[in-house]
Chain A
Amino acid sequence: MEALRCEGLSKSFDATQALANVSLEFPTSGITAIIGPNGAGKTTLINVLTGFLRPDAGRCFLGRRVITRLAPHRIAQLGVARTFQDLRLIQLVTALDNVLVARPNQRGERLLGALLRLGVAAEEARNRQAAIDLLRFVGLEEKALELAGELSYGEQKLLTLACCLATEARILLLDEPVSGVHPEMASRILGLLRRLRDEGKVIVFIEHDISAVRQVADLVIVMDEGKVIAQGLPRDVLERPEIMEAYLA
């Protein structure tokens, strides 16, 4: 299985060094949590890995393939999907349409396919069923026809997860999937992450909530000031006083 990794990544914004020579190899299975104080470089790392930011130095790989200069959509097509800290959805269309748009390689997305509609109806029916299955998986089946913008914050988080899954990506990079949601919703989302891990998805998530990290992470990476300062099993890393000190700072 192809591993997502990076070598010597550096990225600065004016005088701020967001990433300083970061080298990492994510496991090819399980759930990895990236933690660290605000400004540690966690989101910048995900932005660089998914092609939304170009690094000043260093390279990213998916297996042997260099993906540093690929456009975000190419990286997503290669099987690396992501969510965003600030929820990104098509607010004015239904939850179902949000998931449908994420389905890959649709014939009706080509101009001739859209105009002539050859085989598009059958494909659309299959995609619709797949989208409904995904909405059922995240517990939003009954909200399928509601506008995405009218769902609660927690439901919108679930919907972004369903969209990610609809891309059929194997690696999911989730930026704060449970932040700001009700504890009940948080435990529902964490339960889904466990199920996805068991189904073979590779999950990397950024999180501030240490108890959430303890509940689901198989590996923890700690970042501070653009560097990886520790990584290991949660029970080892999260007990180290210097780590918690850096984190709380």
Chain B
Amino acid sequence: MEYLGHVLVLVAIYTVLAASLNVLVGHAGILSVAQAAFYGVGAYASALLAVRLGAPFIVGLLAGMVVAVLVSFVVSLPSLRLHGDYFVIATFGFQMILYSVFNNWMGLTDGPLGIPGIPQPVIFGWRVESHFEFLVLAAVLAAFAYLVVWRITASPFGRVLHAIREDEVFAQALGKNTLRFKVTAFAVSAALAASAGSLYAHYITYIDPTSSTVMESILVLSMVIIGGAGSPWGPLVGAVVLVTLPEALRFVGFPSSVAANLRQIVYGVLLVIMMMFRPRGLVGRYGFGR
């Protein structure tokens, strides 16, 4: 049961991450490979505040989200003027820079040694300890992320994001400041990703740069695409599929070390198959194959 609880907590955390990226990829049509960087910002901000200053979980969570929003402005204001592939390359560069910061700023992050001993969350007297309790907390966070994404995307704000996704020039001609909408969407996406990072840090009680690699960003992007970009249920479906699939591989006789490596191959094969036969994802609305 503990194992199942752990897998479900990971599903919930990745659902938050995928939902956050869905704002960009699914609704605004902006491809980004920097989600793990914002996840890392949230995880490190929350961990450092908790370990060094003894800040409560909620403070760390909110601080991580605020820092992620500020960092997102630094990235998005210059780079969201770029279009298509150029923006993807810019987010890739940003992802690499932040990974290097996490890995090399020994004074702050302890580099590859990471930060151990992150306390488990205490929320208004409720100490979150067991897998089940973490599952409840992660589910609440996922529900919050879904609520935020739904409120934003099913609104006039979301309508403009969809216009940008379909035809940015058309949106500009109608008087929409598309840069403002894209920067705002990027900030919301970053804040939600940071909240997932914060929860992850307090769940595992240890954080190091390996959680913030470009491979993690590609994993989250795969979840969005396989689940279905632009679809409300796509992030959840993508997270369930891509978290449970490698776990399932263990049960068909592959040792953990092989299963871990096979994971990347499985993601790649799945992406190719989806692009060929179901570009809108499993439950998606917006296709990449158009």
Contact = CB atoms under 8 A, between A and B. Distances in A.
Interface residues of A, number: 40
Interface string B146-181: 001001100111111011001101111111111001
Contacts of A124: 156
Nearest to A97: B159
A104 to B, nearest CB: 6
Nearest to B159: A101
B174 A108 contact: no
Nearest to B184: A111
A195 interface: no
Given A101-B171, A167-B175, A114 B166 contact: no
B81 to A, nearest CB: 11
Which secondary structure dominates chain B's binding surface? helix
B78 to A, nearest CB: 16
Given A110-B157, A114-B157, A115-B152, 16 more contacts: A52-B169, A71-B177, A73-B176, A76-B175, A81-B175, A90-B166, A90-B170, A92-B166, A93-B166, A101-B156, A111-B152, A113-B155, A113-B156, A115-B148, A117-B155, A127-B156
A126 interface: no
Interface of B: 148, 151-152, 155-160, 162-163, 166-167, 169-178, 181, 184, 188, 285-286
Contacts of A74: 177
Nearest to A51: B172
B175 A108 contact: no
Contacts of A93: 159, 162, 166
Q: Point out which of B152, B155, B184 has the most chain A C-beta atoms below 10 A from its C-beta.
A: B155
A73 B152 contact: no
A190 B95 CA distance: 53
Contacts of A107: 156
A77 interface: yes
A67 interface: no
